[in-house]
Structure 1
Amino acid sequence: MQFAAILAGGSGVRMGNPNKPKQFFYLGDKPILVHTLEKFCAAGCFDGILVLTPATWIQQTKDIIAKHCPQYAGQVAVIAGGAERNDTIMNAIRYFEDECQADDASIIVTHDAVRPFVSLRIIEDNIAAALAHGACDTVVPATDTIVESLDGELISSIPNRSVLYQGQTPQSFNMRELRETLESLTPEESAILTDACKAFVLRGKKVALVRGDVSNVKITYPQDLRVAEAMLEA
C-alpha cells in the first residue's frame, strides 16, 4: 500500500504574517496547499492521502479543500501535526496504521505543503525508490559553491561541489522502517535531527537519491511567492 503525507504545519512568520500559516497564502486563485494537494490526488497511486496541519487550522483546512478541490475532498483526511517535523510524520504513520490498515510493506511519501510544483515524475520515482531501497530523498545537484563556517565568521572549508546536492521533498520510506528509526532516536538526537532522512543516515541506513527539479521550489519568503506566481503564469 502507498500513502502520502502532506506536511502543512508551518507558520507564516517568514512570510510576514504570523497569524496565517504560509501554506494558506494564495498562489493564483487558490491556496498553495491546494496546488500541492491536487498533484498527489491526481497521481492516482495512493491508498490514502493525509494533510497534517496546525490543530487550530483543521476545520479551515477541511473547508479550503472542500471549496477549492471538492472532487478530491473524499480522498483526503486532515489531522493535527506535531510540535516538530518528525513528530508530524509520526502522527501520519499512526494514522495510516490505525485507520488505513497499513502493513509492513507500505510506503509513505512525505512532502512539504509549500512545494506546489512537484511533478508526477518525481512522485512516481519516489515510490519506486522507496520500494527498492527502503528510503529516498529528492535532490538536485548543488550549483553554487558551498562554504562551511564553524564560527559564522571565517571559512572552515569549501567542500567539493561535485558531490553535493540540495535536498527537496518528497522524502519517501518503508513506513515500518521509518517508524522504527524515528522511535530509536534519543531525546538528544530528536532535538537536533528534524529531518527523517538524517535519522536514517545517523543509524547507518542507506538512503537513495531521486532526481528532483529546480522548479520544485519551496515557498518560504515573500520573494518566493512572487517567483511562484511568475512560474504559475508561465
Structure 2
Amino acid sequence: MVYGVILAGGVGSRMGNAEKPKQYLQIGEKPIIIHTVEKMYVHPEIEKVLVLCPEQWVSYTKTLLNKYRLPASEIAVLKGGSTRNGTIMNAISYIEEQGDLTEDTIIVTHDSVRPFITHRIISENVRYAQKYGACDTVIAATDTIVESHDGEIISEIPERSKMYQGQTPQSFCAVKLKNLYESLTEEEKQILTDAAKIFAIKGEKVYLVQGEVSNIKITYPYDLRVAEALIKEDRK
C-alpha cells in the first residue's frame, strides 16, 4: 500500500505570523495545506493520505478538509511528534495499527508547505521507493555552497557539481525506515535533520529523484508572494 504522509508540524516562526502556522495561510483562495493535500489525494498511486499536525490544530485541520470536500475516509489527520522523524514514526505507528504495515508499504513524506509538487515527482518517488527502498527529491545546486565550522570563516568550498539542494518528497519502504530508526542510538537521533539521514547514518543508499525549481517551500513572507505568482500563472 502507498501512503502519502504530509508533514504539517511547523509553527511558522520565520513567517512572522503569530495567529496560525504557515501551512494554514492562504494562497490562491485556499490554505496552503489544502493545495498540498489535494495534490496527494488526486494522485492515482496514493491510496491514503495522512496529515500530521500539532495536536491543537488537529480539529481545525479536519474542519478544513471537510470544508474543501476532502473525504475523511481517505484522509486521516493525526497528531505529529516533537521532531520531524518522530512525526514520521507516528504515521508509521498509525499504518501498523491499521494492519497495513508490510514489506510492500511505501510512505511518500512531503512538507505541507510545498504545494507545487508535481504528478511526475510523486510518481517517481513511488517507483524509486518500491525499487530501491529509499529516495530523496533534489535539484542541482546553482549557487556555490560555502561551509563554515564557526559561522565566521570559510572552512571549505565543496565542488558545486556534486552539490544538490534537498526538497521533498522523501519516500521509503516503511518497514525498513522503522527498523533503521529503532536501531539508532540516542546520540545518532540527536544529529538527524530528516529521514533520509537515517539511511545515510546506517550506510544505506538513498537514490535521487529530480525535483523542480517550482517545488518551493513556503517559509518566509517573500515565498508567499512567489507562491501567489505561481498560482496565478497556473490559472492562465
2:11 corresponds in structure 1 to 11
The alignment partner of 1:140 has SS state of: strand
Question: What is the deviation of 1:126?
Answer: 0.2
Distance in 2 (alpha carbons) for counterparts of 1:133 and 1:218: 26
Q: CA offsets per residue over residues 55-92 of structure 1, 9 Å max, x none?
A: 00000000011112x14443100010000000000000
1:50 corresponds in structure 2 to 50
The alignment partner of 1:33 has SS state of: helix
TM-score (norm 1): 0.97
Distance in 2 (alpha carbons) for counterparts of 1:74 and 1:233: 31
1:217 corresponds in structure 2 to 216
Distance in 2 (alpha carbons) for counterparts of 1:34 and 1:125: 22
Query: Measured at CA, do residues 9 and 175 of structure 1 come closer, stay the same or move farther in structure 2, by a change above 3 Å?
Result: same
Query: Measured at CA, do residues 210 and 43 of structure 1 come closer, stay the same or move farther in structure 2, by a change above 3 Å?
Result: same
TM-score (norm 2): 0.96
2:145 corresponds in structure 1 to 146
Which range is displaced more, 45-54 or 122-131? 45-54
1:79 corresponds in structure 2 to 78
The alignment partner of 1:74 has SS state of: coil
2:157 corresponds in structure 1 to 158
Distance in 2 (alpha carbons) for counterparts of 1:55 and 1:89: 15
Unaligned runs of 5+ in 2: none
Q: CA offsets per residue over residues 17-53 of structure 1, 9 Å max, x none?
A: 2341110001110100000000001102122210001
Are the aligned partners of 1:108 and 1:174 in contact in 2 as well (CA < 8 Å)? Answer: yes
- Supply the AA of the counterpart residue of 2:29: D
1:169 corresponds in structure 2 to 168
Distance in 2 (alpha carbons) for counterparts of 1:18 and 1:71: 27
Distance in 2 (alpha carbons) for counterparts of 1:28 and 1:71: 18
Unaligned runs of 5+ in 1: none
Are the aligned partners of 1:9 and 1:53 in contact in 2 as well (CA < 8 Å)? Answer: yes
Query: Measured at CA, do residues 203 and 175 of structure 1 come closer, stay the same or move farther in structure 2, by a change above 3 Å?
Result: same
1:233 corresponds in structure 2 to 232
Question: What is the deviation of 1:188?
Answer: 1.5
Question: What is the deviation of 1:100?
Answer: 4.8
Check if 1:24 corresponds to 2:24.
Answer: yes
Are the aligned partners of 2:141 and 2:160 in contact in 1 as well (CA < 8 Å)? Answer: yes
Are the aligned partners of 1:134 and 1:177 in contact in 2 as well (CA < 8 Å)? Answer: yes
Question: What is the deviation of 1:12?
Answer: 2.1
1:200 corresponds in structure 2 to 199
Are the aligned partners of 2:41 and 2:48 in contact in 1 as well (CA < 8 Å)? Answer: no
Give the root-mean-square deviation of aligned CA atoms: 1.0
Distance in 1 (alpha carbons) for counterparts of 2:99 and 2:39: 21
Distance in 2 (alpha carbons) for counterparts of 1:87 and 1:144: 32
Q: CA offsets per residue over residues 85-134 of structure 1, 9 Å max, x none?
A: 00000000010111252212111110000000000100000000001110
The alignment partner of 2:73 has SS state of: helix
1:185 corresponds in structure 2 to 184
Paired-residue identity, %: 55
Distance in 2 (alpha carbons) for counterparts of 1:35 and 1:100: 29
The size of the alignment, in residue pairs, is 233
Are the aligned partners of 1:48 and 1:100 in contact in 2 as well (CA < 8 Å)? Answer: no
